[in-house]
Amino acid sequence: MRSNVLAGSPVLRFAPSPNGLLHLGHAYSAFCNERVAADLNGRLLLRIEDLDRTRCKPRYQAAIEEDLAWLGLRFETPARRQSEHAGDYAAALDGLAAREFVYACFCSRAEVARTSQGRDPDGAPLYSGSCRAISAREAAARLARGEKRTLRLDMRRAIECAPSRLFWSEFGEGSTSVEQTAEPARWGDVILSGRDLAASYHLAVTVDDALQGVTDVVRGRDLLAATSVHRLLQALLDLPAPRYRHHRLVLDPDGAKLSKRRQSPSLAKLRACGVSPAAIRAALGFGGGDSGGLAVALS
C-alpha cells in the first residue's frame, strides 16, 4: 500500500450534489475548504457529484455555481462531473471483481430491511449477505431474465485481504492530526454500484479523490464513519490516502442538521432577503463584520 500522505502540492475539493439548493451547511464546508487551501497554499477544486440522474438536475448545478460565485469562492475550472466518468468507476469495479471482492445482489430494499439484524453507522439496515453464495452462472441467468442487481463489496473477504492496520490521519478543525483507526466492518457488505447508478457514493468519491490528486479531504463530521469504507477501498485499489478534516455541522435552532430534505433556508433565499456574503461569512466564523442581517432573515 502506498504512503498515507500524498506528495506534491496540496489539493482540496468541494463536492456538492445538484439535487437541491445549497444552504448554510454547504457554505460552511466550502469556506472550510477555502481556508485550509489558503493555509496550505494549495489548489481548490470543484466536483459536481451528479451520479443520481433522477434527483440531480442541471438547474441545481447552475444554482450551485451562482451561489459559490456570490459567496466569493473561486475554484479551478472546469469542474469534474461524476456523470462524465462512468468508465473510471467501471475500471475500479473490474479490478475489485477480478480479486473476487464483488458479488451481485438481487435483494430489494424491503428484503434487506426484513432480513437485517442491525444498522450501519448511517442508521440503514445492515445487509445479511444472502446473495453472497449465488454462483456466477445463476447471477448471469437472473440478469438475462431482466432482474436488476446491485454490486456489493464482500466485506469479510476485503478485510481479510487488507492491511491489518488500517487508519487515517484526522485533523478535525485543528492543526494537529490523530491516528484514526478504520472500522469498515460496521458497514457490512456495502453497495458499490446501484441498480441504476454507475457507482455508489463510497466508490465514486474514492476513485475521484485519487484521480484528482486530492491530498486533503475537508467535509462534514457526518461522513467521519464513512471514511472507514473509503480507506478500505483505497487499500484494495492501491490508491493513496488523503489527510482528512471532518468539520462540525451547522445546526438549526432545534439542534438538527441543516439539510435539503428538511427544506433548510437556501443561500438563494437568504440572498433574496438581502443577506450579504459578508454577513454569511461573519455568522459562520470566517470573517469579521455584522451578521445581524442573517439572523433577521432566519427569524
CATH number at residue 70: 3.40.50.620
Domain span at 174: 11-264
Residue 80 lies inside a defined structural domain of this protein: yes
Are 249 and 221 contacting, i.e. CB atoms less than 8 angstroms apart?
yes
Residues 89 and 203: beta-carbon distance below 8 Å: yes
236 and 186 in one domain?
yes
> Which three cell numbers, joined as nine digits, stand for 170?
484526522
Residue owning grid cell 478485510: 159
Whether residue 97 lies inside any domain: the answer is yes
Q: Are residues 236 and 168 in the same domain?
A: yes
Per-residue pLDDT tens listing for the chain (299 residues): 344 445 579 999 999 999 999 999 999 999 999 999 999 999 999 999 999 989 999 999 999 999 999 999 999 999 999 999 999 999 999 999 999 999 999 999 999 999 998 999 999 999 999 999 999 899 999 999 999 999 999 999 999 999 999 999 999 999 999 999 999 999 999 999 998 899 999 999 999 999 999 999 999 999 999 999 999 999 999 999 999 999 999 998 888 888 887 778 999 999 999 999 999 999 999 987 766 666 544 54
Catalytically active residues are 260
Structural domain total, the chain: 2
**Judgement on whether residues 216 and 229 belong to the same structural domain of the protein:** yes
DSSP 289: S
Residue among 200, 259, 257, 196 nearest 230 (CA):
200
Domain identity same for 228 and 280: no
Q: Where are the extended beta strands (E) located within 6-133? A: 11-14, 43-48, 76-81, 102-105
Measured from the Cβ of residue 131, the count of other Cβ atoms closer than 10 Å reads 20
C-alpha triplet 108, 90, 129: angle, nearest 5°:
30
